[in-house]
Amino acid sequence: MTMKKRILCIGAGYVGGPTMAMIASQCPRCRVTVVDINPERIAAWNSDNLPIYEPGLDELVRATRGRNLFFSTEIERGIRENDIIFVSVNTPTKSFGLGAGMAADLQYWEKTARQILEFSNSSKIVIEKSTLPVKTALAMERILNCRENGIHFDVLSNPEFLAEGTAVRDLEHPDRILIGSRETDNGLKARQTLVDIYASWVPKERILTSNIWSSELSKLVSNAFLAQRISSINAISALCEKAEADVAEVSRAVGMDSRIGPKFLNASIGFGGSCFRKDILNLVYLCRNYGLDAVADYWESVVKINDYQQERFIRNMLGAMFNTLAGKRICLWGFAFKANTGDTRESPAIFIARRLLEEQAEIVVSDPKALKNARTDLMGVKGQIRYVEDPLLAAEGCHAIALLTEWELYRNLDFPKIFDGMAKPAFIFDGRNILDHRRCFDIGFNVYPVGKPPLTHF
């Protein structure tokens, strides 16, 4: 079979790996290669133990790897041999210099652009898959097209909207695919090439095209809007706790307004994940750069409420447990930033674990998929930490359970047995509101949900 298109993706992470596996699966006549500078990551993609946990991903990779999907460290060769190059490298928050703690760190991105320039001996389409500040494509174009040697690069923006834990489903049935390009003849031609790839499985009406800056900006704005909903309901959860209202009832009532909709209105310990915080801070930084301070302040408040919600959770624990946690053993159910992933980047659990240790509590960390990452996150942090995968064993002898990730398995555990094994009075702090609070209370627990009146035996 002759291969119709040769596609390369630089960056074999949470986005590059699953996205390319989906393209390979849906476009059997495309040959897709994913390269990375990290040889361990590539070795893991080539093994039975993939570097990330994502439901459905093992099956997808098994069906395509070695057929038309390849993982490699040969970046130079990859660039030379492919005409369509996705760039999906990390774009973390800058940790140094001007914009530290706010702006996007574009060094990996720019290094990649320079590599593409250096190793290309034919014209190519280069696609921004990473999330980037608006106008990054301009910098990319200037770097790529700085030589006058007849080789031309068209830069497209094609941001990714998948969510971890549902990545495979999101890639297979996306709400939309967004492709931004220059509105020149070359730009429109390149755009069409990418539209044709997605059209193999995505209905045409879900493939949106736009100008390149709108596309770059839409990604930051989508994440900002999603995070804003969580901060909005979390802010209201604080009010509910004072006013004896129930945040779940409030969000149900509010979400049934079809103009508002029910999704992303679950009160919690705050949002985590590698992107919401970094992308909003990036947006805030951009607004300040353009002199739009009022706009920047507005979006920055989303992050401030998120920090407030995490600190509030700790203060509620302290208040409920007689204002001291020193020497008390607290079990953390869940460490991943959300269910169905082993990813702990920016997980609220990291902040909560550190704060509990600062209060001199002992902690027992439990999670079905994220213990390896949890160990790395808490490496070198002072205090007593144990890691126990089994949630029942983890809770044994503890004074309290703090439920931090909404893993389904926590709903149906043997709560009477767990209660018997704990120090009394026993507390549950349900940071995700997923447990049957009345039942836990009837068993004997003192139950503290988020944004609902606590159920206590005092």
Helical residues (DSSP H) of 65-154, grouped into ranges:
75-81, 107-119, 136-144
Q: Which of residues 274-313 bind ligand NAD (CB under 6 A)?
A: 274-275
Helix axes 212-243, 293-320, angle to 10 degrees: 40
Binding to ligand UGA by CB under 6 A, coded x per residue (else -) over 161-200, reads xxxx------------------------------------
Total residues in contact with ligand NAD, by rule CB under 6 A: 27
- Asked whether position 373 contacts ligand NAD by CB under 6 A, the answer is no
DSSP 406-429: --GGGGGS-HHHHHHTS-SS-EEE
Catalytic residues: 275
CA distance 197 to 27: 7
Nearer to ligand NAD, 50 or 426 (CB): 50
| Contacted entry of ligand UGA, ligand NAD, none for residue 91, CB cut-off 5 to 8 Å set by kind | ligand NAD
- Asked whether position 12 contacts ligand UGA by CB under 6 A, the answer is no
CA distance 7 to 127: 11
The count of C-alpha atoms lying within 13 angstroms of the C-alpha of 210, restricted to the half-sphere facing its C-beta, is: 18
Nearer to ligand NAD, 24 or 450 (CB): 24
- Asked whether position 64 contacts ligand UGA by CB under 6 A, the answer is no
The count of C-alpha atoms lying within 13 angstroms of the C-alpha of 338, restricted to the half-sphere facing its C-beta, is: 15
Q: Is the separation of the CB atoms in 139 and 194 below 8 Å? A: no
Q: At closest approach, how far in Å is the CB of 36 from ligand UGA?
A: 18
- Asked whether position 351 contacts ligand UGA by CB under 6 A, the answer is no
Structure tokens at 437: 């609070």
Q: Given the rule CB under 6 A, which of 21-29, 88-96, 263-271, 318-326 is the region that contacts ligand NAD?
A: 88-96
CA distance 104 to 130: 11
Nearer to ligand UGA, 25 or 90 (CB): 90
Nearer to ligand NAD, 10 or 374 (CB): 10
The helix or strand, by DSSP H or E, that contains position 22, with its residue range, turns out to be helix 16-26
Nearer to ligand UGA, 187 or 272 (CB): 272
Nearer to ligand UGA, 271 or 313 (CB): 271
Q: Which of residues 9, 15, 22, 402 is near ligand NAD by CB under 6 A?
A: 15
User: Which residue, 11, 24, 186, is CA-closest to 92?
Assistant: 11
- Asked whether position 223 contacts ligand UGA by CB under 6 A, the answer is yes
Helix axes 276-289, 293-320, angle to 10 degrees: 150
- Asked whether position 275 contacts ligand UGA by CB under 6 A, the answer is yes
CA distance 323 to 174: 47
Binding to ligand NAD by CB under 6 A, coded x per residue (else -) over 121-160, reads ---------xx----------------------------x
Strand order through the sheet with 5-10: 69-72, 30-35, 5-10, 84-87, 124-128, 153-157, 177-181, 207-211
| Contacted entry of ligand UGA, ligand NAD, none for residue 240, CB cut-off 5 to 8 Å set by kind | none
Q: Which of residues 27, 50, 57, 89 is near ligand NAD by CB under 6 A?
A: 89
| Residues making up the chain, counted from first to last | 458
Q: Which of residues 13, 187, 272, 451 is near ligand UGA by CB under 6 A?
A: 272
Q: Report CA torsion sign: 55, 59, 61, 64.
A: negative
Q: Is the separation of the CB atoms in 124 and 85 below 8 Å? A: yes
Q: Which of residues 136-165 bind ligand UGA (CB under 6 A)?
A: 160-164
| Contacted entry of ligand NAD, ligand UGA, none for residue 344, CB cut-off 5 to 8 Å set by kind | none
CA distance 376 to 374: 5
- Asked whether position 164 contacts ligand NAD by CB under 6 A, the answer is yes
Nearer to ligand UGA, 13 or 78 (CB): 13
- Asked whether position 24 contacts ligand UGA by CB under 6 A, the answer is no
Q: Report CA torsion sign: 329, 331, 336, 338.
A: negative
Which residues here bind ligand UGA, judged by CB under 6 A? 131, 160-164, 223, 226, 230, 264-266, 268, 271-273, 275-276, 337-338
Which residues here bind ligand NAD, judged by CB under 6 A? 10-16, 35-38, 41, 75, 88-91, 108, 111-112, 130-131, 160, 162, 164, 274-275
